[in-house]
């Protein structure tokens, strides 16, 4: 079983969404973890927009990368440029992947406009995770 780490700056939005979708698409064929180089708590809007798509991340926690130092990951995905730049060195054979998704937590405007940005980023991450599992986990 492959161990996947999704890494972002605060482990509150993008990495949590990716964590939820990777679990969903891997159907139990991977152990998925998410962490941040900081911890900001799981964003309630991320929980809400994932629930709209039938994925429950309400029990996820915001974890610091140091908590997983002893895990030998197979795959590490950074989902923002900041995390890629600050990604700690893992003494492992992990393959590293990177995709910079926009930060929905920085969205401005009305509540509906902000939620629409969260949904847009969610859909980008969903497509990425579906393709990632097909290419790197399900073979």
Catalytic residues: 8, 80, 87
Nearest to residue 45, comparing CAs of 128, 121, 102, 101?
121
| Distance from C-alpha of 89 to C-alpha of 4, rounded to nearest angstrom | 15
Rounded Cα gap, residues 49 and 54, in angstroms: 9
Cα distance between the two ends of the chain: 11
CA distance 103 to 2: 27
Task: Give the Cα separation of 106 and 74 in Å (integer).
Answer: 31
How many Å apart are CA 36 and CA 39, to the nearest integer?
A: 6
65 within 8 A of 7, measured Cβ to Cβ: yes
């Amino acid at each position: 079983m492959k161990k996947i780490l999704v890494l972002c700056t605060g482990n509150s939005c993008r990495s949590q969404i990716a964590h939820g979708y990777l679990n969903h698409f891997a159907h139990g064929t991977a152990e998925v973890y998410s962490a941040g180089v900081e911890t900001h708590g799981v964003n309630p809007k991320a929980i809400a927009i994932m629930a709209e798509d039938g994925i429950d991340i309400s029990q996820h926690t915001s974890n610091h990368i140091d908590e997983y130092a002893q895990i030998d990951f197979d795959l590490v995905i950074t989902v923002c440029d900041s995390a890629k730049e600050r990604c700690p060195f893992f003494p492992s054979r992990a393959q590293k992947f990177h995709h910079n998704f926009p930060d929905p937590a920085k969205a401005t405007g009305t509540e509906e406009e902000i939620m629409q940005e969260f949904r847009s980023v969610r859909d980008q991450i969903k497509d990425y995770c579906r393709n990632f599992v097909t290419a790197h986990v399900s073979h």
